Structure 1
Amino acid sequence: MTTLADLQFDNRFADLGDTFSSKVVPDPLSNPRLVVSSADAMALIDLDTSEADSELFTELFSGAKLWSASEPRAMVYSGHQFGVYNPQLGDGRGLLLGEVVNGRGEHWDLHLKGAGSTPYSRMGDGRAVLRSSIREFLASEALPALGIPSSRALCVTVGDDPVYRERQERGAMLLRLAPSHIRFGHFEFFYYTRQHDALRQLIDFTLQTCYPASQQATDPVLDMFNQVLQRTMDMVARWQAYGFCHGVMNTDNMSILGITFDFGPYAFLDEYDAGHICNHSDHEGRYAFNRQPAIAHWNLACLAQALTPYVEVEALKSALATAMPRYQAEYLRLMRARLGWAGEQPEDEELLQQLLQQMQTSASDYHITLRLLAEDDVSARGQFIDRDAFDRWLTQHQARQAADSSALAGRLDCNPVYVLRNYLAQQAITAAEQDDFSEVRRLHQVLRQPFTRQPGQEAYTAPPPDWGRRLEISCSS
């Protein structure tokens, strides 16, 4: 393990120059305090966990100090927001501090979110608030524990600075980690501004840094696109299997790595509702839970359009045609594992849909129901209104399991006990806004091991209380 002073930087994206990003210095928080840190995220860059106790740790991740080797840059990009193209977005409140290389030769972006205004802030203050910073931290660390690819969060700091959103809140910063912060919107920006030389430069950079194996393909750019497509649809299949709603799947929020990225008004389902909308600004339901696979396909088509100067259109269309079959196969694989169904049977999709429809009708809790089915099939009966219909389904389900029992032992390993429900996050936020960070830290620790029952943590397995059901979450931060 290493210290903060010994981190090794290799700022490859900054080396691309001013066409791709702008130099910006962080605007530090006043009187910064550490809210929470992640030992798992620190390990990704070989950082000793004891460093989180140092004053330097808080200073670096609240913008007060910089490494001499870091080179803070605000990245430029564009994107489709709620289906409408926005010509210039960019890092309006975040800075890429630099790229750290760990002992395994892996590059990790250090991205400081909430670091003040940039050339892309569009009249905004460039700040993040404590509420949204805690939510992103918790999700960034909870999703990988569930096996869902995601950016990571190293820590949250808070200051005394007032920030005005729907109400006055306190400014905070989140340090985000990812192997790359390149988004679909990066390619769209250079395509729509007709900067095709810069687009080619970005493509080559992405091939080199993110998809080096594609460079050996007959058509490297097409191969890269296929890799992005497969990763993206596999990620969304995991969202659907584990009841995760992203809430704002704009193309500028889609990672070129196929990882969950830019958390805003996200939510895990409580009761099962296929059409659940977690973003109170999504009045048309564009990003409803059951639309996420189709939106991912749509976003991939936007990326494909941006690559047309360098890939044949028909080849891109052929690739896009594989997206939904890829998603469906991966989603069914995941749900078979959750239900203890070995192999593949023609009736699997219909049997799964029957279960989900009964859950919808009964407003069954998605996570509790699936966990009960994994622990003891019959005990899940109490989650359903029409018990006779459930009994008929259960008979078919048990027959499906009996046909090949090899998958039964693994059910508990893919049905979580603990899920980041909105009400749990809100309880932690409410306490943190009163300078009590203990609940954020406790919840974070519980979510690190979601599949194992932990002594004394029964409160985190409960369905939401009345006040915590269907909480409205906004995009504002």
Structure 2
Amino acid sequence: MTLSGLLPDQECPLFSFDNTYARLPQRFHRPAKPAAARAPQLIRFNQALAEELGLDVADVDSARLAQLFGGQVIPVGAEPLAQAYAGHQFGHFNPQLGDGRALLLGEVVDRAGRRHDIQLKGSGPTAFSRNGDGMAALGPVLREYIVSEAFAALGVPATRALAAVATGETVMRETMLPGAVFTRVAASHIRVGTFQFFAAQGDEEAVQMLADHVIDRHYPEARGAESPYLAMLTLVAERQARLIARWLSIGFIHGVMNTDNMAISGETIDFGPCAFLDEYDPRKVFSSIDQRGRYAYANQPGIGQWNIARLAECLLPLLDADEEKALEAANGVLKAFGDVFQAEWLALFAAKLGVTGEGEDDRQLVTDFLELMHQGEADFTLTFRALSKVVGGAAVETLTDLFTVPQPGLSDWLARWHARIDDNRSAPERQAAMEAVNPALIARNHRIEEAIAAAVYGDFSFFHRLVEALANPYAEDPSTADLRVPPRPDERVTRTFCGT
């Protein structure tokens, strides 16, 4: 049963849709309708994002917003569809995945002229659900809301959260759980797996149509290149390399870097079993389904490059009619991915240490500090923040007390570091520059779980508090001091789940 008329759609003319993806041929997508929800209730609505998108919600109350973003009203101009895509999941190729629990309402152009998808997640089964219920449990919806908005505040490219709605329904996972719908905003939902879907079928026409669509939508600068499709591939690779370097700089582990979870736009997408590091460990894995550590913290750059290789395979016929030349061009992009990542990683971590300019020993300075952190079981976020305070004149114990296992080599490292950052800036200037890139507050795993646990019983107060605090991650507001504290041993989250 579907429901799309509890409120006349004319009463909710919020969006000005221009749906370019819906105009692609039918093999790119399937029509979809959201399922009925017994009692939708608005949990949270992102008013600031709505204003950026140019949505007119001034006269729309929470009940109507719940109906709309709970999928119970199809707004004027929407063309709900589920997108087709394939993907490598933990290295194994599945030729058909698709939106099994999400639908694209349509596309809007924001006040700055940027195009965005508006998608409902957890809105019910689609043609790609493969016997699944298409629903989302409350926990994964709240997790995605928290982390995606935390990313926005940290300045890391990511999809955004527009709304979260409780459906009043229950969904069966390991147990019966309350259901919810999440409204995701993305530059687009085109993935590496979207290209793979058509390439696996030998549908070169669709691959080219999709590539043309991507160039028009995301990489218009590629259109005038000698080889537009090679230029597009190069730009996609560069964005992904820089994105993954940003993940590492904030201690983030995506958890499920399958090719269907890699957005062509360069945004972070799908916050399922993701997590932030507490103590630094490059081999750290949280995802319950990543049994072999494929997507561990330090493995993410290599996996990103592997995913780009899969995209390049799809595009080979477009790169050059001569297969050997096409392979040579693709391999050049893969090499460039590594070069871009290494340069971006070093620049980000050098800034975290307060290093300006380029020094031949800077990479060693960074890696030595990370190794000391690893051996000392030091908290990733707090250690870099403490180093920012030490440069401003705080006692060295501010830093050393964060090392659970004392590291005798830290004193020598600090001497090298002090010598390297000796520039013309004052101590307060250095501290301010370091604190601008070293957050004080991240979306700690145990705090996310705390918010979810309370919300399951109807208390959303901590969820709201956490979202609001994470909007200012570089501030040290006394009212959020408890949210900056690492977990006690009994609070540690060692496993995260995809929520499907």
| Range into which the TM-score falls when normalised by the shorter chain | over 0.9
Alpha-carbon separation, structure 2, partners of 1:470 and 1:90? 30
CA contact (8 A) 1:79 1:185 kept: yes
Does the aligned pair in 2 maintain the 1:184–1:251 contact within 8 Å?
A: yes
| Structure 1 position 400 matched with structure 2 position 420 | yes
Alpha-carbon distance in structure 1 between the residues aligned to 2:208 and 2:52: 31
Equivalent position to 1:459, from 482, 494, 499: 482
Conserved? CA contact 1:423–1:471, under 8 Å: no
> Deviations along 1:117-164, whole A, 9 cap, x unmatched?
111111110011100000011111101211210011101111221111
Moved more, 6-15 or 268-277: 6-15
Aligned twin of 1:217? 225
Contact 1:270–1:469 (Cα < 8 Å) also in 2: no
Q: What does 1:110-129 align with in structure 2 at a 5 Å threshold?
A: 110-129=118-137
What amino acid is the match of 1:339? L
Q: Could you say what secondary structure the match of 1:74 adopts?
A: strand
Q: Where does structure 1 lack aligned partners over 5 or more consecutive residues?
A: none
1:391 equivalent in alignment to 2:405: no
% same residue: 39
Contact 1:277 1:289 in 2 (8 A): yes
Query: Partners in 2 of 1:126 and 1:454 — Cα distance?
Result: 40
Return the alpha-carbon distance in structure 1 between the equivalents of residues 97 and 82 of structure 2: 11
Match 1:439 to one of 448, 457, 462? 462
Q: How do 1:235-274 and structure 2 match up within 5 A?
A: 235-274=243-282
What secondary structure, in the 3-state scheme, does the structure 2 residue paired with 1:308 have?
helix
2:357 corresponds to 1:343: yes
In the TM superposition, what whole-angstrom CA distance separates every residue of 1:151-187 from its partner, at most 9, and x where no partner exists? 1110111122111112211111000001211000010
1:232-311 map, 5 Å:
232-311=240-319
| 2:48 equivalent to 1:40 | yes
CA contact (8 A) 1:183 1:256 kept: yes
Q: Distance in 1 between matches of 2:111 and 2:378?
A: 47
**Residue deviations 1:335-363 (CA, integer Å, cap 9, x gap):** 11111011111111111111111111111
Counterpart amino acid of residue 420 in structure 2: R
How far 1:316 sits from its partner (Å)? 1.1
Q: CA deviation at 1:52?
A: 6.9
Using the TM superposition, give the Cα deviation of residue 46 of structure 1 relative to its aligned residue in structure 2, in angstroms.
1.8
Instruction: Give 2:343's match in structure 1, choosing from 326, 329, 353.
Output: 329
Equivalent in the alignment of 1:188: 196
Q: Distance in 2 between matches of 1:105 and 1:381?
A: 48
Distance 1:310 1:30, change over 3 A: same
Equivalents in 2 of 1:150, 1:165: separation in Å? 27
1:4/1:441 Cα in 2 relative to 1: closer, same or farther (>3 Å)? farther
Match 1:363 to one of 355, 371, 377 = 377
Q: Aligned partners of 1:140, 1:287: CA distance in 2, in Å? A: 19
Q: Distance in 1 between matches of 2:35 and 2:71?
A: 6
In structure 2, how many angstroms separate the alpha carbons of the residues matched to 1:434 and 1:6? 32
| Kept after mapping to 1: 8 A contact 2:245/2:344 | yes
1:101 is displaced (CA, Å) by 2.2
Matched to 1:319, the amino acid is V
Q: Which of 35-44 and 168-177 deviates more?
A: 35-44
Q: What amino acid does structure 1 have at the position aligned with 2:417?
A: H
Match of 1:374 among 388, 392, 396: 388
Kindly state the Cα deviation for residue 422 of structure 1 after the two structures are TM-superposed.
Answer: 0.7
Matched residue of 1:286: which SS? coil
**1:352 equivalent among 335, 352, 366:** 366
On the 8 A contact 1:31/1:159 being kept in 2, the answer is yes
Q: How far apart are the structure 2 equivalents of 1:40 and 1:169?
A: 30
Separation in 2, partners of 1:404, 1:224: 41
Is residue 417 from structure 1 mapped to residue 431 from structure 2 by the alignment?
Answer: no
Q: Is the 8 A contact 2:108 2:118 kept in 1?
A: yes
1:52-108, CA deviations, whole angstroms, 9 ceiling, x for partnerless residues? 743221101101101121000000000100001101000000000011123333221
Deviates more, 1:130-139 or 1:95-104: 95-104
Q: Aligned partner of 1:182: which letter?
A: I
Partner AA of 2:476 in structure 1? R
- In the other structure, the counterpart of 1:317 is 331
Q: TM-score, normalised by structure 2?
A: 0.92
**Cα drift, residue 48 of structure 1:** 5.2
SS at 1:217's partner residue?
Answer: coil
| 1:416-441 deviation per Cα after TM superposition (whole angstroms, max 9, x unaligned) | 11100111111111111111111111
Larger mean Cα displacement after TM superposition, 50-59 or 217-226: 50-59
**How many Å separate the matches in 1 of 2:489 and 2:37?**
36
| Deviations 1:386-412, CA, capped at 9 Å, x for gaps | 343111111111111114547724111
Cross-structure match for 2:7:
none
Preserved contact between residue 37 and residue 154 of structure 1 (Cα < 8 Å): yes
The two structures have a TM-score, normalised by structure 1, of 0.97
